[in-house]
Amino acid sequence: MTGPRTLFDKIWQAHEVCVTPSGASLIAIDRVFLHERTGAAALKSMAVAGRLVRDPARVFTVMDHIVDTRPGRGDQTLMAGGQAFITETREAALAAGITLFDVTDPDQGITHVISPELGIVLPGVTLVAPDSHTCTQGALGALAWGIGSSEAEHAMATGVLRLSHPGTMRVSWTGVLAPGVNAKDMALHLIASHGTAGGGGRELEFAGIAVRALDVEARMTLCNMATEFAAMSAIIAPDETTFAWLAGRRYAPASFDHPHWAGLVSDDEARFDAEIAIDASTIAPMVTWGTSPEQAIAVDGTVPQGPARAHDYIGLAAGQAIKGVPIDAAFLGSCTNARLSDLRRAAMLLKGRRIAPSIRKALVVPGSSAVKRAAEAEGLHHLFEAAGFEWRESGCSLCFYAGGEGFDPGSRTISSTNRNFEGRQGPGIRTHIASPETVVASALAGAIADPRELAE
């Protein structure tokens, strides 16, 4: 392909080993990341077939999904049989000779938080993981996407994956975000406006001044929900903000001063298969009212008419104001919104305040053990605890009802996560997704609240 190219096509072509007779391409894979929920299966299946990991130095694994997040944790989990995921992953990782971030490793954390944090994902690389939120890592200018366990085996054994070109879509964000509005609201706004199928399997590029203005962690929040938009993944062209954020990280190169890094942008005349433009200044804090991420509205809006099943499950009627709906629990965590900047913004809003007595469970689960240590060094844990939140060890925790821990039956939660399907946070749990600011404002009020009304 000659002529102007998208950033996606530049990375794709740099990794295209060959085009197969069917028209699909073999794409070289630079990094594979595994976790104990899906990774052990891939490693075990390879071992049974007698296949070796081709280049163990490119494969990493971590304990994040099943692992307990209560203080003093070990391998035990509240989930029956959960411990086996951990011990089997450990044994398989050691046997395969790949890098393991174990339960008590100082580098442990959620896959999509630690991979950037350690500089494992870098601009221009290809990275895959058997986890749908691998798209988060596109925020660094990488081609990073979620795959299945059997594809992970293939990537580990051969160093390539067979893929058809997914097509491209640019989402251009103009304008300046209003105070109290952030990347999570941008993601929810996009999905609410265009539906959960809006991405159509394409690779998204987020561009425009409102994206350039985001710090790297906020860019990760925005890219994180590309999978909820049915995109293959999302990417943001790396810039000085990206390079400065990566500098000094363990697996990052000593210098980014190279023409290769500077060329990681879409050319001016590059054509995308689809385009969306959004004025970021029009966005309000968003919150979901139903059981799909597309069922999101401005926090000062009213519940629209949606599918009867969503209204029944969530227990809210059309026409009702979302603000003021009483909640029972609050969750601040996940690969969407549990980085240091998220915790800082949330903690500042909590300063000197206490959550409503009606809140039965309120958790802060840092995205990584490094985030936890950094937050503690700043005293953020004291602010959370003084406000009535539990301060946890890092992991996926109640983003996903997999570790066996739950909220009280029937609870309505406000959650900084990315999915609100029926049962996502446990049987019968009703989840409202929102930004960290909206989560803490709501925990303080004991009801869904507008964080703009809390800011001094």
Ligand X SMILES: CC(C)[C@H](C(=O)O)[C@@H](O)C(=O)O
User: 315 to 334, contacts with ligand SF4 by CB under 6 A?
Assistant: 334
Residue 115 touches which of ligand SF4, ligand X, none (Cβ within 5-8 Å per kind): none
* CB nearer ligand X, residue 65 or residue 154: 65
The distance of closest approach from Cβ of residue 297 to ligand X in the complex, given in angstroms and rounded to an integer, is 23
Asked if 133 interacts with ligand SF4 (CB under 6 A), we say yes
Sequence-distant (≥ 6) Cβ neighbours of residue 346 within 8 angstroms: 332, 364, 384, 436, 437, 439, 440
Question: If binding is defined by CB under 6 A, does position 227 make contact with ligand SF4?
Answer: no
CA 12-241-237 angle, 5° bins: 20
Signed CA dihedral, 206, 208, 210, 211: sign only: positive
Please report, as a single letter, which amino acid is at residue 297.
Answer: I
Residue nearest to ligand X as judged by C-beta position: 132
**Residues 128, 278: Cα–Cα separation, whole Å:** 29
In terms of Cα–Cα distance, which of 340, 112, 143 is closest to 236? 143
Cα separation, 69 vs 400, in Å, equals 13
Asked if residue 77 binds ligand X (CB under 6 A), the reply is no
* Two tokens, residue 111: 């896959």
Two structure tokens written together for 415: 């959650």
Q: 3-state DSSP call for residue 22?
A: coil
Q: Residue 322 Cβ, how far from ligand SF4 at the closest point, in Å?
A: 23
Q: Is 110 in the site for ligand SF4 (CB under 6 A)?
A: yes
CA–CA dist 199, 65 (Å, integer): 26
* Binding segment (CB under 6 A) for ligand X, from list 127-135, 136-144, 228-236, 242-250: 127-135
- For residue 347, state whether it binds ligand SF4 (rule: CB under 6 A): no
**Which backbone phi and psi does 350 adopt, to 5 degrees?**
-85, -20
Q: Which residue among 400, 416, 438, 444 contacts ligand X (CB under 6 A)?
A: 400
Is residue 396 involved in binding ligand SF4 (CB under 6 A)? Answer: yes
Q: Is 42 in the site for ligand SF4 (CB under 6 A)?
A: no
Q: By CB under 6 A, tell whether 381 contacts ligand X.
A: no
Q: Is 16 exposed, middle or buried (0-12, 13-18, 19+ CB in 10 A)?
A: middle
Contacts to ligand X from residues 30-49, by CB under 6 A: 37-38
Contact between 88 and 114 (Cβ < 8 Å): no
Q: Give which of ligand X, ligand SF4, none residue 38 binds (C-beta under 5 to 8 Å, depending on kind).
A: ligand X
Is 366:375 a contact under the CB 8 Å cutoff? Answer: yes
Q: Which does 110 bind (CB under 5 to 8 A by kind): ligand X, ligand SF4, none?
A: ligand SF4
Mask for 301-320, x = binds ligand X (CB under 6 A): --------------------
- Rule CB under 6 A: choose which of 7, 226, 330, 399 binds ligand SF4: 399
Binding ligand X (rule: CB under 6 A), the pick from 15, 65, 170, 219 is 65
Binding letters toward ligand SF4, positions 55-84, x by CB under 6 A: ----------x-------------------
Find out whether 203 and 169 touch, Cβ atoms under 8 Å: yes
User: 133 or 345, CB closer to ligand SF4?
Assistant: 133
Cα distance between residue 177 and residue 187, in whole Å: 13
The Cα 341–Cα 331 span in angstroms is 16
Q: Does 126 bind ligand X (CB under 6 A)?
A: no
Return d(Cα 379, Cα 212) in angstroms, integer.
Answer: 30
Closest to 360 (Cα-Cα) out of 399, 395, 331, 318: 331
Binding window for ligand X (CB under 6 A); candidates: 74-82, 131-139, 313-321, 385-393 = 131-139
Laid out side by side, the sheet with 168-174 consists of: 233-235, 203-207, 168-174, 274-279
- C-beta of residue 452 within 8 angstroms of C-beta of residue 434: no
131 vs 217, which CB is nearer to ligand X?
Answer: 131
334 binds, among ligand SF4, ligand X, none (CB under 5 to 8 A by kind): ligand SF4
Q: Which of 171, 180, 177 is nearest to 203 (CA)?
A: 171
Indicate whether 117 belongs to the interface with ligand X (CB under 6 A): no
Interface stretch with ligand SF4, choices 1-9, 155-163, 306-314, 396-404 (CB under 6 A): 396-404
Nearer to ligand X, 170 or 432 (CB): 432
Q: Which residue do the tokens 């509240």 mark? A: 78
The yes or no reply on residue 98 touching ligand SF4 (CB under 6 A) is no
Q: Return the structure tokens found at 411.
A: 């609870």
Q: Which of 173, 229, 289, 400 binds ligand SF4 (CB under 6 A)?
A: 400
- How big is the site for ligand X, counted in residues (CB under 6 A)? 8
Residue 392 binds to ligand SF4 (criterion: CB under 6 A):
no
Could you list the residues that contact ligand X (CB under 6 A)? 37-38, 65, 131-133, 146, 400
Could you list the residues that contact ligand SF4 (CB under 6 A)? 65, 110, 131, 133, 334-335, 396, 399-400, 417-418
